[in-house]
Amino acid sequence: MQRYLVLADGTVYPGTGFGAPATTMGELVFNTGMSGYQESITDQSYNGEILMFTYPLIGNYGINRDDHESIHPTCRGVVAHEVARRPSNWRCDETLDAYLKTNGIPGITGIDTRAVTKHIRTQGAMRAAIVDSVTDAVHQQLQRPVDQTHEVAESSTANAYPNPATGLNVVVVDFGLKHSILRELAKRHCNLTVLPYNTTASEIMALNPDGVMLTNGPGDPKDVPGALPMIREIEQHVPLFGICLGHQLFALANGADTFKMKFGHRGFNHPVRDLRTGRIDFTSQNHGYAVARESLAQTELTVTHEEINDGTVEGLRHNRYPAFSVQYHPDAAPGPHDAAHIFDDFIDLMHAHQTTKKEHK
């Protein structure tokens, strides 16, 4: 089945269709990971985006029931150079093609994905379409502005739910979380309560948390202004930890600014330096926005981590409150596990805060 990848600048790439028999539009972004396509497709941070893999072959180990990062994937499409017809893995439950069909996600293969990636790196991330035929209407629609302010609302849970355990009581504010975040906290015996993205500070504090986690999520952090008063209030009372979108919201809540990157960081090999110790971790990342370093001068935030390749701000800590954040994914699903110790830092911060509270009683 002939399909086409059409970019907003008029560039057209012919290929072969797979997945759902539908047309789609979204921002075209690329992921440089050599594996982990299932985790990426089910990562809610890709909501509204067409996900292109630079690794030449995907689908070779199929789809299994264990590696989902969310139940309902929300990426708009998948672009690949080659898709394996016969996956081989003892955990495989179905093919990538079948999974995309079930979830209504169209794909296109037979594309020189590395050439397209070079194009995006030069021109910047842009809207694209996967279609069965190229028409003037497709080109025109790609030029129209699109309302993308609803992505977090689509990705977040609508209702609170628990992940019970015996240990520290942690509230997780869901902006589009990855299940691996819950797994990492559960490993550390945290009693979790997951709340919607628009939860208020008073609703959180009513649960008597030992700490609050701000998760990853899709889109522009400035599209979630309602979270900022909640963050400003919470950080004054209990330890707070933000990941990815949570990191950006933490920065905005404390007076910093964010900006849209030319083509973002999406892959599993981004080197990040801890400026306090010199330690370098290779990290999993998925973001198209970043914190503007120059905007931090008048805030009470200190940069703790930076990306070695381009100097992007990758970590922040509040100078007065027990609150910090990282731009990358220490949960590493998929990706290297170098940075898993960041979750231990959060646990240590909560224990230290408990000790301080007892001493002041």
Catalytic residues: 244, 329, 331
Dist CA 297 CA 224 (whole Å): 23
Determine whether the annotation assigns residue 245 to a binding site. yes
Backbone region of residue 216 per phi and psi (left: phi > 0; alpha: psi in -120 to 50; beta: other values) = beta
Determine whether the annotation assigns residue 335 to a binding site. no
Dist CA 311 CA 184 (whole Å): 28
Determine whether the annotation assigns residue 289 to a binding site. yes
Nearest alpha carbon to residue 68 among 101, 50, 94, 33 = 94
Pairing type for strands 2-7 and 169-173 reads: unpaired
- Structure token digits, residue 80: 């690949």
Determine whether the annotation assigns residue 45 to a binding site. yes
Determine whether the annotation assigns residue 44 to a binding site. no
How many whole angstroms from its chain centre is CA 319?
Answer: 26
Determine whether the annotation assigns residue 15 to a binding site. no
Backbone region of residue 131 per phi and psi (left: phi > 0; alpha: psi in -120 to 50; beta: other values) = beta
Instruction: Give, in order, the Cα–Cα distances in Å from 247 to each of 135, 214, 242, 335.
Output: 41, 8, 5, 19
Determine whether the annotation assigns residue 142 to a binding site. no
Dist CA 59 CA 2 (whole Å): 20
Determine whether the annotation assigns residue 217 to a binding site. yes
Q: Is the peptide bond before 334 cis (omega within 30 degrees of 0)?
A: yes
Strand segments, DSSP code E, in 21-159 are 24-31, 49-53, 57-58, 77-79, 82-83, 106-109, 126-131
Sequence ranges of the binding site: 45, 217, 219, 245, 248, 286, 288-289
Sequence ranges of the binding site for L-glutamine: 45, 217, 219, 245, 248, 286, 288-289
